[in-house]
């Protein structure tokens, strides 16, 4: 197991006073593990030099040892590598206090982080991370993309993980490299499989296909595992929507969220990587005793479907998908917290006063769930709720299972 080790000392402290302590610590650790680094850092300039000398992306875990207090600002920089992290704190020079502060910083960014204060605890933590290596790598190494911006009405959106940003200007550059002929070919099979086409014209369907192709090229060039897109900015500027493209990608196995919401995207990526299942990202449109209605204009094409316009604008291409009935899970992530509830898909509705795909879910104590959840957008997926809650807990979320 390869461990990247870094010591932190305050700029007020003398490095010489801690050289022996650090050296003895490294010597003991190197008897059982492959140790790299061993730097003693005080300032951000030291961090820049350290990352040039060691590839911390290639270690199995990072061990941060604040030898004194006042080291939080430099040691927190190691969150950028998104590797399982151990904070070693001892009883002197405010070491433990700094370790506790740093642990919470890493946990808020969903990086598995453990605080230890002796060698036996350290060894146990390292072995635990080694046992979970495959699971943690699936999660920590996902490359998420945001095309455009987060929609401004997502007032509860809270996201501390790194992601790749692609501007709308860049999106339009990719879009302009596609042709109408290519766009139509991209959606022709979807058009043929649809039960009916209500509002969309051939021109709107063609433009939806061009959006799909533009995003597909972005995914390849930026090596993204999933993406979310600020769709309303495209709608307002160009009178077209990416709803159909998102439905196609989710059916094909590529996590795709709308409105620029990164938390929903993260949930979709988790579902695809660990359960190989798509998700329907929807608004809570209504609820009553024992049921919730979830609605949106995009849904994975995993059932019979009708091609519609986008609900609020009446333009572009949305989808009304008949999602399979049966047991499922409803969940939401926001930051470090998650809620999960077992539900049953019991039917569809087709009101013209809501987003196009409208799914009715049976759920116990719907009012309690609504009262305790973390915001609007939720993910519906055909995964066992207890298995999902257990996985989210392993990945570092604080989970409420209803």
- What are the tokens at 320? 């009304």
**What pLDDT does residue 387 have?**
98
pLDDT of residue 154: 95
- Cα dihedral sign, 200-154-338-368: negative
Domain boundaries, the chain: 2-139, 142-401
Per-residue pLDDT at 158? 84
pLDDT in the model for residue 214: 98
Is the pLDDT at 330 greater than 90, yes or no? yes
**pLDDT digit string (tens) for 208-255?**
999 999 999 999 999 999 999 999 999 999 999 999 999 999 999 999
User: If we measure between CA atoms, which residue out of 96, 44, 89 comes closest to residue 63?
Assistant: 89
The structural architecture, per CATH, of the domain 2-139 is 3-Layer(aba) Sandwich (3.40)
Who's near 151: CB < 8 A, 6+ residues apart? 230, 231, 232, 259, 260, 261
pLDDT at 396 over 90: yes
pLDDT at residue 118 tops 90: yes
Q: Residue 161, exposed/middle/buried by CB under 10 A (0-12, 13-18, 19+)?
A: middle
- d(CA 315, CA 199) in angstroms, rounded, equals 8
């Amino acid at each position: 197991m390869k461990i990247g080790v870094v010591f932190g000392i305050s700029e007020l402290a003398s490095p010489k006073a801690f050289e022996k302590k650090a050296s003895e610590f490294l010597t003991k650790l190197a008897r059982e593990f492959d140790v790299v680094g061993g730097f003693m850092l005080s300032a951000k300039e030291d961090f820049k030099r350290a990352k040039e000398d060691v590839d911390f992306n290639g270690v199995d875990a990072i061990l941060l040892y604040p030898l004194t207090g006042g080291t939080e600002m430099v040691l927190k920089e190691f969150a950028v590598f998104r590797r399982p992290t151990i904070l070693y704190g001892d009883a002197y020079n405010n070491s433990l206090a700094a370790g506790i502060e740093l642990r919470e910083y890493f946990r808020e960014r969903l990086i598995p982080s453990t605080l230890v204060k002796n060698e036996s605890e350290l060894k146990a933590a390292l072995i635990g991370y080694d046992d979970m290596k495959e699971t943690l790598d699936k999660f920590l190494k996902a490359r998420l993309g945001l095309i455009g911006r987060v929609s401004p009405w997502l007032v509860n959106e809270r996201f501390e993980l790194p992601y790749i940003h692609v501007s709308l200007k860049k999106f339009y550059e990719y879009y302009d490299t596609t042709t109408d002929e290519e766009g139509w070919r991209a959606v022709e099979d979807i058009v043929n499989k649809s039960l009916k086409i209500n509002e969309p014209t051939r021109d709107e369907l063609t433009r939806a296909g061009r959006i799909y192709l533009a995003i597909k090229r972005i995914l390849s060039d930026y090596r993204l595992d999933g993406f979310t897109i600020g769709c309303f900015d495209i709608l307002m500027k160009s009178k077209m929507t990416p709803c159909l493209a998102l439905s196609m990608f989710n059916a094909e196995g590529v996590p795709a969220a709308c409105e620029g919401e990164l938390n929903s995207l993260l949930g979709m990526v988790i579902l695809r990587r660990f359960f190989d299942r798509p998700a329907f990202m929807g608004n809570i449109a209504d609820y009553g005793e024992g049921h919730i209605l979830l609605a949106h204009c995009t849904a994975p094409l995993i059932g019979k479907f009708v091609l519609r316009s986008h609900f609020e604008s009446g333009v572009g291409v949305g989808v009304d998908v008949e999602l399979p009935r049966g047991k499922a899970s409803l969940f939401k992530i926001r930051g470090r917290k998650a809620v999960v509830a077992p539900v049953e898909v019991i039917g569809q509705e087709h009101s013209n006063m809501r987003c196009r795909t409208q799914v009715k879910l049976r759920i116990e104590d719907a009012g309690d769930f609504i009262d305790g959840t973390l915001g609007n957008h939720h993910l519906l997926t055909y995964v066992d709720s207890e298995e999902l809650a257990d996985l989210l807990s392993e990945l570092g979320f604080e989970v409420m299972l209803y």
